[in-house]
């Protein structure tokens, strides 16, 4: 082993969470061993599993455990189904994002097999702490309420600080990618004149510090259509919380579905791997879920840890995972059901692990 040992928390979550996280864990362990990266994986309870023991879906014990780790791998959560007496209702992952200030949600959408000029390689940079999300957009209280029995008010919160931070994240990312050197700001400022006006003001201000990157702006409805028709024309997209959430599912459809869409939640101090998809209760426990999104999210976490700690073994481990996943997908002999194959989650995982073991040393 070389360098520093990485301590990573593993939070399985609900629905297909235990299956896809178990897969990501075993791929991570195999790649770390191959690349001499020291790893300490710590299991922490979250979701229904935590509720059974602690009466809440994000117990303080879990939060304390997370604080002691360098990064976290989180499975999907069935937040909508949590009991109303859960102290963390409605959403443990929203609480985590807020408590640890994970202000950026980075969602790459890449064609993992396609190589032509129609290949898609874009990243949605989504603000993660405010906007229409009532579980995290207030200091105290809940951002949705009933003034009378027939009316609901939902608050939208947009702050200059959050817009600035997410814009900077997007421009920095565009620079490191060296692809089209293009940032597209997605908004609805013709309707949300003030909130998205402020968002655009901050994006434009940030753009002035990045002369090498072009700024394009588009209304969310029009960008939604362009993502379906010409997804290959995009590079980095930056947007507010809810638009980012919706657009990333739309874009995921263009690369083979949610099973292939990874994401990273990151802040100044912490980062968390978390697939874009939810807990998919319809296929939970059947050993058919596609773990690619969770596995690639874990590789993204490693890249983030590399940028923080600079240890080459971390970078090699991330590359190993990425390459093995791409190779197994392009071989096409062991694909999961959502991709038209017949391989179980476990079979797909063991094929990736075999691939990692056979790789030549980097």
Residue closer to ligand ATP by CB (options 37, 299) is 299
The question of whether 188 is a catalytic residue gets the answer: yes
Q: Given the rule CB under 6 A, which residues bind ligand ATP? A: 15-16, 20, 76, 78, 80, 258-259, 277-283, 289-290, 293, 338
Q: Is 117 a catalytic residue?
A: no
d(CA 254, CA 261): 10
Q: How far is the CB of 38 from ligand ATP (least distance, A)?
A: 29
Please tell me the distance from the alpha carbon of residue 345 to that of residue 13, in angstroms, as a whole number.
Answer: 17
Residue located via tokens 């510090």: 209
Q: Tokens 């309870």 belong to which residue?
A: 45
Q: Is 306 part of the annotated catalytic residue set?
A: no
Q: Which of 7, 95, 164, 188 is catalytic?
A: 188
The DSSP secondary-structure symbol of 91 reads -
Q: Residue 131 has which token pair? A: 């906007």
- The CB-of-145 to ligand ATP minimum distance in angstroms stands at 23
**Among residues 134 and 195, whose Cβ is nearest to ligand ATP?**
134
**Whose Cβ is closer to ligand ATP: residue 240's or residue 292's?**
292
**Closest separation in Å from C-beta 135 to ligand ATP:** 14
Round the CA-based radius of gyration of the chain to a whole number and report it.
20
Return the H-helix or E-strand segment holding 352. Answer: helix 345-358
Strand runs labelled E in the chain:
2-11, 37-43, 71-74, 104-110, 121-127, 144-148, 151-154, 182-187, 214-219, 236-239, 264-266, 271-274
What are the structure tokens assigned to 321, written together?
């995972």
Closest-approach residue to ligand ATP (CB): 278
Catalytic entry in 51, 82, 133, 270: 133
Active-site residue (options: 131, 235, 245, 311): 245
Report the residue number, 21 or 102, with the smaller CB distance to ligand ATP.
Answer: 21
Catalytic residues: 133, 188, 221, 245, 249
């Amino acid at each position: 082993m070389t360098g520093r040992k990485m301590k990573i928390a593993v939070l399985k979550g609900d629905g297909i969470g235990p299956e896809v996280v178990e897969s990501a864990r075993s791929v991570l362990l195999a790649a770390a061993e191959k690349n001499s990266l020291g790893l300490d994986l710590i299991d922490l309870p979250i979701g229904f599993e935590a509720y059974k023991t602690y009466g809440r879906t994000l117990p303080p014990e879990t939060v304390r455990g997370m604080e002691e780790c360098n990064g976290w791998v989180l499975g999907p959560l069935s937040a909508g189904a949590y009991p109303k007496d859960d102290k963390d209702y409605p959403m443990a992952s929203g609480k985590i994002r807020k408590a640890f200030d994970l202000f950026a949600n980075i969602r790459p959408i890449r064609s993992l097999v396609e190589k032509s000029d129609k290949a898609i390689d874009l990243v949605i940079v989504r603000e993660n702490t405010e906007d229409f999300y009532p579980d995290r957009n207030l200091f105290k209280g809940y951002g949705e309420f009933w003034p009378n029995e027939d009316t609901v008010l939902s608050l939208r919160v947009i702050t200059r600080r959050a817009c600035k931070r997410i814009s900077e994240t997007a421009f920095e990312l565009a620079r490191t990618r060296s692809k089209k050197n293009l940032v597209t700001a997605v908004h609805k400022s013709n309707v949300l004149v003030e909130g998205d006006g402020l968002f655009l003001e901050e994006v434009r201000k940030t753009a002035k510090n990045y002369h090498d990157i072009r700024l394009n702006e588009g209304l969310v409805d029009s960008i939604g259509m362009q993502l379906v028709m010409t997804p290959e024309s995009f590079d980095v997209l930056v947007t507010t919380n809810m638009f980012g959430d919706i657009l990333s599912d739309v874009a995921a459809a263009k690369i083979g579905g949610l099973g292939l869409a990874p994401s990273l939640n990151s802040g100044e101090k912490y980062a968390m791997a978390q697939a874009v998809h939810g807990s998919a209760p319809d296929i939970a426990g059947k050993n058919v879920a596609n773990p690619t999104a969770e596995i690639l999210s874990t590789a993204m976490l490693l890249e983030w840890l590399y940028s923080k700690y600079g240890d080459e073994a971390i970078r090699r481990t991330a590359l190993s995972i990425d390459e093995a996943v791409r190779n197994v997908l392009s071989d096409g002999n062991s694909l999961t059901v959502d991709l038209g194959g017949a391989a179980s989650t476990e079979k797909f995982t063991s094929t990736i692990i075999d691939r990692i073991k056979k790789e030549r040393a980097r």
